[in-house]
Structure 1
Amino acid sequence: MNFPLIASLVSILFAQLIKYPIAYLTNRKSAKLNLITSTGGMPSSHSAAVSSLTTALILEYGFNSPYVAISTVFAVIIMFDSMGVRRQSGEQGIVLDILARKHLAEIDYISDDISYDEVEDNPLILSYDIDDYERMIINRYLGHKPSEVIVGTLTGGFVAIFLRLVLL
């Protein structure tokens, strides 16, 4: 049995499944079932997966194992990326959404007000309408706050330890 793999996958599932109850308890208005399948939110399932993998490898091979070293570096990169690049991408997505909605409102959802120069610069502009735009919106939960990463890390570690106790 590949305990590190099982622990990581269970941690992802567990972290994703508890997102909705946590959102419901903390802010009922923002609690939607699609949180279970989305990225971002509390806790970070990415952090849960990599911390569970590292914890399982420590339990399986000991702290001095090269596998633990590889997993730890991998975990740190994943966690920093989720708080940095992915979070900033999500925030920029919100700003772009606001600007696009403002622009669509100003031109009355792709109207005759568009000049030939605008179409020449971006020929795709005429092929989109508001329905297409709604389908293409970036997920607002793209990245993580530090607290979401910390809770994800703790969740993954506890899941790995719990599974080790149950499976032995």
Structure 2
Amino acid sequence: MVFIDEISRNEVFIACITAWFVAQLLKVILTLIFENRVDVSRFVGSGGMPSSHSSIVTSLTTAVGLKRGYSSVEFAISLVLALIVMYDAAGVRRAVGKQAQILNTMIEDIHAHKKDVFTEERLKELVGHTPIEVLAGALLGIIIANIMI
């Protein structure tokens, strides 16, 4: 298994996976601290503090910059990817979450007045991130890449 051997020695990849793992673990820990409950689904769920999307792409971008240089084509590609992902996390995906909240409220109101109108389950509301969650994830990714590379 040459592929597994080589990827397991890829410092950039390991830094990215570590950044994702730490961000997801922090979501579980912060849920425990602020909501006084253990929710292991936060480990694999999207949305919340910090943004693991931001963490993984800024870790990638930082690691590429450290390895290849901040004037390299690889860094530029990674930076553009990171900016798109973070914009999407705080923009489009956050708007989807807000729409889901409104639709869930509407469905609950309809159920309160008429039974069996909708059979769909609740829409997922925690999809995107606030700008602070994106920033926190970005800083986490930068820190982890600097520590590991």
The match for 1:5 is: 13
Q: Counterpart in 1 of 2:57? A: 50
CA distance in 2, matches of 1:153, 1:82: 12
Name the larger-Rg structure: 1
Structure-2 residue corresponding to 1:24: 32
Per the alignment, do residues 88 and 96 of structure 1 end up closer, same or farther by CA in structure 2, a change over 3 Å counting? same
Determine the C-alpha separation between the residues in 1 that align with 2:36 and 2:123: 20
Q: Quote the RMSD (CA, aligned, Å).
A: 1.6
Q: Residues 65-105 of structure 1: CA distance to partner in whole angstroms, max 9, x if unpaired?
A: 10000000110010011111000000000100010111122
Residue 98 of structure 2 is matched in structure 1 by 91
Aligned length: 141
2:89 is the counterpart of 1:82: yes
Please give the secondary structure, in 1, of the residue aligned with 2:71: coil
Following TM superposition, by how much is the alpha carbon of 1:12 offset from its aligned partner in structure 2, in angstroms? 0.8
In structure 2, what is the Cα distance between the partners aligned to 1:153 and 1:30?
Answer: 26
Structure 1 segment 1-168 matched on structure 2, within 5 A: 1-25=9-33, 27-29=34-36, 32-110=39-117, 128=119, 133=120, 136-164=121-149
TM-score, structure 2 normalization:
0.87
Percent identical across equivalent pairs? 35
Task: Find runs of 4+ consecutive structure 1 residues off by over 3 angstroms.
Answer: none
TM-score by length of 1: 0.78
Once residues 122 and 37 of structure 2 are traced to their aligned partners in structure 1, the CA distance between those partners, rounded to angstroms, is 17
